[in-house]
A and B are shown apart, each in its own frame.
Chain A
Amino acid sequence: MAADTEARPIAQMRGITIEFPGVKALDGVDLTLRGGEVHTLMGENGAGKSTLIKALTGVYPIDAGTIVVEGTPRTFRGTSDAQAAGISTVYQEVNLCTNLSVGENVMLGHEVRGPFGIDWKSTHREAERHLEGLGVRIDTRSLLAAHSIAVQQLVAISRAMVTDSRVLVLDEPTSSLDRGEVDQLFGVIRGLRDRGVAILFVTHFLDQVYEISDRLTVLRNGALVGEYPVAELPRAELIAKMIGRELDEFAAISRSADREIDRGGDPVIRATGIGRRGVLEPADVEVYDGEVVGIAGLLGSGRTELVRLLYGADRADAGRVEVRGRPARITNPRHAIDRRIAFSSEDRRAEGIVGDLTVAENIVLGIQAKRGALRKLRKAEQDAIVEEYIQALGVRPANPNALIRNLSGGNQQKVLLARWLATAPQLIILDEPTRGIDVGAKADIQRKVAELSEQGLGVVFISSELEEVVRIAQRIVVMRDRRKIGELTSHDTDVDDLVAFIAEEHDTQESPESVA
């Protein structure tokens, strides 16, 4: 029952390709938005959702492809071009002037003019009319800052309606709203849909996708997976599509998951009830020598939060940690590093690389920080280490003096891995080490992780790609909604089991778990 008959396309993107230095952020992606339909864009982090939105709203120029709005091909040179074409955006962080009144915000640039300049009375009346059209009744002369984020978002939407938009893009509008506010927002969205507006909705909340949208487009690694009517795509299938099945080339990597781990002695790390209010419910984790512990779960499930607490990047307010059986207080990264624990963040650009320094400087940064400023590595030692790791990990270009920001994502990731391996850790925590990097680099990194663990290194491995986790890890910690919901051994688990485990109805397990 393809829904082709019911709605006519308002905006069509075809073969959209966007390249950043060294990375193809989007590769020939299509997206069709139809009037009177709520269309959801799905994909894990780095899938290209926000890049696609930014192409549609004129923030990024496209390198290839076409954008057709209401039958007219368009080239957007800036956001104002997109707005002129009738495409409005409401961002997660509301981009309005909080120091102006509600009415001024709604009507900004479209104030009603009288013989003596702006006729404020009529302007506010007009603003009121637009807000009421969305079922919002507030004093338009009150300051925007005085209202909740939810109301501010509604104001942003009515502002989009003032400009008579045909396409409304809502980028994670619900991430900071409570249930009642979400209901109100959805009411407004349905109203707009019924008026024939094409709505593009982005969210990480699966429940909301099934509640509001008519159709969805799934992206993965910058490529289109497909477009589906929501009614025809069950949850588990959607997750599988977002996470993806991998290429055969990875099958060549030894399946380290089946390796026997000696769990006799003390683990490298054992965390009991580690948690932080509002961030992560108390969870237990332990990692033994030579073991790879995978952490699986969707984005926002608490997997990153968990490892940040283990490393001391954020401070835990509950739980105990033991390193090799000895109690350890890890409240900042230095404490972790002193215990030979290493951590590579999921946000390579903001929390990993030091962009304006060279590859060599980035590699030795970890060792140098550990030694302290006064005990500088001698040039010869430094060169030897850098050379060794560039070779071992296959960093390209193999030029130690290149600035790291000019390297591709995969090579930056290899440099970061080198930085940590050079400090000779006993446990390394890798948060999404393979995200957004090309297939070759991905295989290199997986191979290296398997090899290192065989040599006795403890590894915590987070990835959105479940196949990767199932292949590499011997044990998998499963997270959902900022809780650990269980642990699986990969020996008798495949991706389908894991997907099923993650996708189980959210509400059912809520209460018993909180006792633990």
Chain B
Amino acid sequence: MATTTLTKEHKPPSNPVIVWGSRALWVNMVLCFFFLYFPIVVLVAFSFNDSKLSSQWSGFTLKWYSAMLENEEALTAFRNSLFVATCSTILSTIIGTMTALAMERFRFSFRKLYDGVLYLPVIIPDIVQAVALLAFYALVLEGLNSLLGLTGANTLRLGLPTVIFSHVSYSISFVVIVVRTSLRDFDKSLEEAAQDLGADEWTTFWRVTFPLILPGILGGALLAFTLSLDDFVISFFTTGPSGTTLPILVFGLIRRAVSPEINAISTVMLTMSIVLIILSQWLQSKSARK
């Protein structure tokens, strides 16, 4: 294989269409990478820029990072984001794993339909889901408030809990997709072997099935965590005044002024996302190799 490509490349260019075609492809690739990554590179670079103006470089500094760490608003938003991500990840991982197990192992009526419906949140535009969830919460909260007779400061409002439930409803689908992949490669005769050796269904699950699909479950959980950390649209629609998450804070800051502090916050978020995605991919490839 390698030798044939080499000889092809060293052949004198004959057909001008092919020559220019391959040059155009090369330019296309460079442009693609440029569009994808140049803005991010600029963002990261200017988070270290010693100037308040984002248009000129005047030396390296870490002051925007220390400013970020002293910014009470930013720290609260960061804590909120972590809290939402942790809660929604735990919930959606448990529900998603159970759903994946049911879908792979059991035959029940409307299974096909449920299968399709399950993946809708992946396809539906975020904004549609956000509006739908907002309308849903408005209805439910109003109903609960009048049912429980809550008034004034005691009324139930939008806030972090509603954001958590929104993220759960959104990331379950992703968890299901990831866990189902690891279940599909699972050798069912292992479960039969465990039962043959005297383990009941419960013991079989915890001693054999669970340890073997654990990498898949963790992969799904990390994906859910990343999605929750990064989400802006759904959080923005379904949160209240007390529940500002990091992406919402950034959005608010940028409307006032473009400060390099935003670059610093964004760089931190970017790094976290990249690490989480790499971890999730690694865990999934580990479970695939088994």
Chains A and B bind each other: no
A residues contacting B by CB (< 8 A) are none
B residues contacting A by CB (< 8 A) are none
